Every structure is written in C-alpha cells, then in structure tokens.
C-alpha cells in the first residue's frame, strides 16, 4: 500500500509549478529532511520562524527526489536554484497543512483503530502502555519519543504500515485550538485524556483554559468512537458532557468509582501489581513500572484494550512486551548508588508523584536533584515552593535545587527547617558540574539519587559527570 502522486495532489490541492509527474506511480517515501532523501521520494519544505525548507529543495532534487513541495510564492533565490534542477516542483500556500493532509490521506488507507492520547502528564507512558496492550495481536504504530505536535503527528502517521493492527498517537498542545486542529489529522476512533494540571500556564493563563484545551480531543471523537476519561481527575471526568451523541464514554480510576477500576495495589521498586474490575469481572495485572500514577496510566491502556475486545490474557501478554520511553522513572546503578532518572519532563503533579513514589518505595538515604518546572506562568512560584516542601516530606537526605524557579523550592525547604539543601542557579554545564561535585561529596554507599526536572533542564547530564569519577561508590 502506497500513496501515488495523484493522491498527494488531490489531498493538498498542490499545483505543478514545473516538471512532470507520472500520476499513478507510487511514492517510495515522504520526508521533510534532505539527509534522508532517496531516489523517487517527495521532499516537503516546511517553514519555520527562522528557516525555510525551500532553500534545500534544489538539493533534495539533486539527491534523487522525484518532486519537492514548496510554499508559494517562491523567493528569487529558491526560484533560481530550482530553475535547472531535475524533477517536479509542486507549490501550495501552506506546506505544513499539506504535510498534515498527506498524513491524513495515508492514515485513512488503514481500517485499524487509532488511539489518541492527551493530558498534562502521563501521555508518553500511557502511549507506551497502550501500544504494549494492543501489541498482543500484532505490530502497533506509535508516536516515537514525544513527537506529538503539528510536525511529529504526521510523521508518526506516515509510519503506519499494512501490518499494523492499531496506531497509538500522542497529541500535545501549547494553546487553545491546537488539539482541535490536530485531532482530525489522525482521525482517532478512541480518545484518552489522562489529567489536567498546571502545565503551559504561561501560554493558557488558567487551569480552566488548560482543561478546555484538553477537552478538544473529547469533542473530536466522532459518533461510534469512544472517549476514555480519568475519573480520579474532576476536571477530566467533567468532560463527559462534551462527548458527541453516539460516542461511548468510559472512565478509569483508582480512588474513584470508575468503569475500569484498580484495587489491591501492590507497589514495589520493581513494578506494580493490581486487580482490575471491569464489566463485573476481576483480573490481576502487573507492569514493570513503579508508582500509583503508573497504575493509573495502565488503567487507561487497559480501558482501550477492553473497548477493542481484547481479553485480559491478551492484554497481560502485551504488557509483558512493554518498551518504555527512556528517562521515565528509569532505575539504574552507578557504582553502588541507585539512580532514578525521571528527567524526561516535569510538571507539578509529576514532580509530586516522583517524590512520593521514591519516598514510599525506597527506605534508605535519598538525594533529590530537582530542576525547574517550565512554562508555569504565575503559578510557578507556588508550585516550586510546594516541590521544596514535598522533597522535605519525602525524607530526602540532601536536596539539590537547580535552575531559576527552583530558588523558590530551596527557600521553602529552608523555611521548613531543612538544612541539607543546595541551590545552583541556571542550567549550564558548570551548574551540572557543581551538582555532581556536591553529590560526590555527600553520597555514601547505597544512597539513592532522584533526578526530576523539565526537559529543558537536561538533568541527565549529571549522570556521566558522576560516573566519570570512576568511583566504586
């Protein structure tokens, strides 16, 4: 199954600016990266604030692309570069919209379920868990890393193949209307909303607006589809009323009365075991992920499996194949120390969950290395102060606060009477070096170190600095 040039032209309303195409020929690959061009490919020249992919269009043709798709009007420099290039030049008014339209056309060739996931926290882990559950019946196309934006989503969809039994995609947002615009590209039959919390506050202004933005996925699911909502989050479960007529609504939860409910949780550092009640039946499940929050993520994945008619046995088989995105509460050893690398991203709720989980599962000495939680707007001071207090409540032996906003966490820890805290301004390499030096000077055999901060802080840089000491700690 492949897209033809005629199908691309129909999906995008592109005009043939120059050159010729054999309309019924299949396109080997569609790419936005000239480094990945192979003979016969289509290169789509995306535009950004500081770049125009059209500047590389001639290079793409020279590398063997059959055609390039560029934004009109062409600049004089691009027009000149393309004048003598071999291959076809297609023009559209908006290359990003065209890219999304092509991805949608490709997705619609497959009659398999597409599960779309959004939420302030847990999207990536829930995506990994859902893909694992559904993998019991075959291969599943899923979002790589966190490619959940206007470029990453079409990239994921274009990776669908005829052998896939399902696709699982993340849909992120940075403002109102973005999920509403992106969801139709994926045309999901199942939508999952994990939670709503203070993420992107500086862009959306209020928790109410964040909830409104996430609810756009609920509104995008058509009649005959299913919406899966976290019953433990009041703002999420309230989205039930926004589902269209003919859309099935399922809830999942731990503390709340839900359609898919977890009980009898047994949480260890090696993973979680729990009993799930669904449709008057109870079955045991296990996942190699620690923490109550990951049980919640697993419930969302299991709910998707139930919707699609998977048996409990199939889903447990799928969960045994779980491949989790790195730096999501990833546990590994450095010398005789235990590192928990949870530095993929951070929000107020995920910061609290990481500290709580670590406190509950590990009884020895703990060093909390905390980086800024970004994009919180006016809420930043309050939530960082809470992080400092939570670190104290987690019985941390030492607390290292790194960044700008983490100064509030540091001050809150001092105000709580904690004397083992260090504040390091910024996130430079020198800052990471200072953090590593402090850890090396204070950690002892058997200590546990938790790294938690937003992606922009890149706290994982601390690990090789410690490992490089060659210490059999």
The pLDDT tens digits of the residues spanning 213-236 come to 999 999 999 999 999 999 999 999
Do 5-100 and 110-319 have matching folds?
no
pLDDT one-digit tens code per residue, 242-276: 999 999 999 999 977 899 999 999 998 889 999 99
Among 118, 113, 121, residue whose Cα is nearest residue 160: 113
**Are residues 22 and 36 in contact, defined by beta-carbon separation less than 8 angstroms?**
no
CATH number for 5-100 (one of 3.30.360.10, 3.90.1150.10, 3.40.605.10, 3.40.1390.10): it is 3.40.1390.10
pTM of the model: 0.86
Which whole number is the average pLDDT over 345-361? 92
Average pLDDT, the chain: 93
Distance from C-alpha of 125 to C-alpha of 116, rounded to nearest angstrom: 13
| Domain map (residue ranges) of the chain | 5-100, 110-319, 330-467
pLDDT score for 470: 47
pLDDT score for 469: 65
Give the whole-number percent of the chain exceeding pLDDT 70: 99
pLDDT score for 471: 47
Domain formed by 330-467, architecture: Alpha-Beta Complex (3.90)
Helix H or strand E encompassing 346: none
pLDDT one-digit tens code per residue, 437-455: 999 999 999 999 999 999 9
pLDDT higher than threshold 60 for residue 356: yes
Which whole number is the average pLDDT over 22-32? 93
Q: How many CB atoms lie within 10 A of CB 468?
A: 9
pLDDT higher than threshold 70 for residue 176: yes
With left for phi above 0 and alpha for psi between -120 and 50, is residue 205 left, alpha or beta?
left
Distance from C-alpha of 453 to C-alpha of 351, rounded to nearest angstrom: 8
Quick one: fold of 110-319? 3.40.1190
């Amino acid at each position: 199954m492949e897209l033809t040039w005629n199908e691309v032209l129909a999906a995008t309303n592109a005009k043939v600016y120059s050159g010729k195409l054999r309309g019924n020929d299949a396109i080997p690959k569609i790419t936005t990266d000239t480094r990945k061009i192979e003979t016969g490919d289509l290169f789509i020249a995306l535009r950004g604030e500081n770049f125009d992919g059209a500047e590389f269009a001639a290079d793409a043709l020279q590398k063997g692309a059959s055609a390039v798709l560029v934004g009109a009007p062409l600049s004089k420099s691009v027009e000149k570069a393309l004048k003598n290039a071999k291959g076809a030049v297609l023009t559209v008014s908006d290359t990003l919209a065209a890219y999304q339209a092509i991805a949608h056309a490709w997705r619609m060739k497959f009659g398999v379920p597409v599960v779309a996931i959004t939420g302030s926290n847990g999207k990536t882990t829930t995506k990994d868990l859902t893909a694992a559950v559904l993998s019991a019946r075959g291969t599943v196309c899923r979002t790589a890393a966190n490619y959940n934006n206007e470029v990453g989503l079409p990239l994921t969809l274009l990776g669908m193949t005829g052998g896939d039994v399902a696709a699982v995609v993340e849909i992120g947002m940075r403002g109102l209307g973005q999920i509403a615009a992106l969801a139709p590209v994926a045309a999901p039959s199942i939508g999952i909303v994990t939670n709503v919390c203070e993420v992107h506050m500086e862009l959306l202004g209020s928790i109410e607006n964040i909830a409104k933005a996430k609810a756009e996925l609920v509104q995008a699911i058509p009649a005959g589809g299913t919406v899966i909502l976290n019953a433990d989050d009041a703002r999420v479960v309230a989205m039930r009323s926004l589902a269209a007529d003919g859309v099935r609504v399922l809830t999942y939860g731990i503390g709340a009365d839900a359609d898919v409910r977890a009980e009898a949780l047994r949480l260890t550092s090696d993973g979680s075991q729990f009993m799930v009640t669904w449709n008057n039946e109870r079955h045991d499940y296990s996942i190699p992920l620690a923490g109550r929050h990951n049980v919640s993520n697993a419930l969302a994945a299991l709910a998707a499996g139930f919707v699609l008619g998977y048996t409990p046995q199939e889903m447990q088989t799928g969960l045994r194949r779980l491949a989790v995105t790195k730096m999501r509460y990833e546990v590994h050893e450095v010398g005789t120390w235990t590192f928990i690398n949870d530095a993929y991203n951070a929000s107020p709720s995920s910061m609290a969950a990481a500290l709580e989980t670590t406190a509950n599962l590990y009884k020895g000495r703990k060093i909390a290395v905390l980086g800024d939680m970004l994009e919180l707007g006016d809420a930043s001071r309050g939530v960082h102060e809470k992080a400092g207090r939570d670190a104290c409540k987690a019985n941390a032996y030492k607390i290292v606060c790194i960044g700008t906003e983490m100064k509030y966490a540091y001050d809150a820890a001092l105000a709580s009477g904690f004397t083992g805290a260090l504040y390091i301004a910024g996130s430079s390499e020198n800052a990471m070096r200072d953090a590593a030096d402090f850890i090396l000077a204070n950690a002892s055999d058997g200590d546990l170190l938790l790294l938690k901060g937003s992606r922009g802080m890149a706290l994982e840089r601390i690990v090789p600095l410690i490992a490089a000491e060659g210490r059999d700690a």
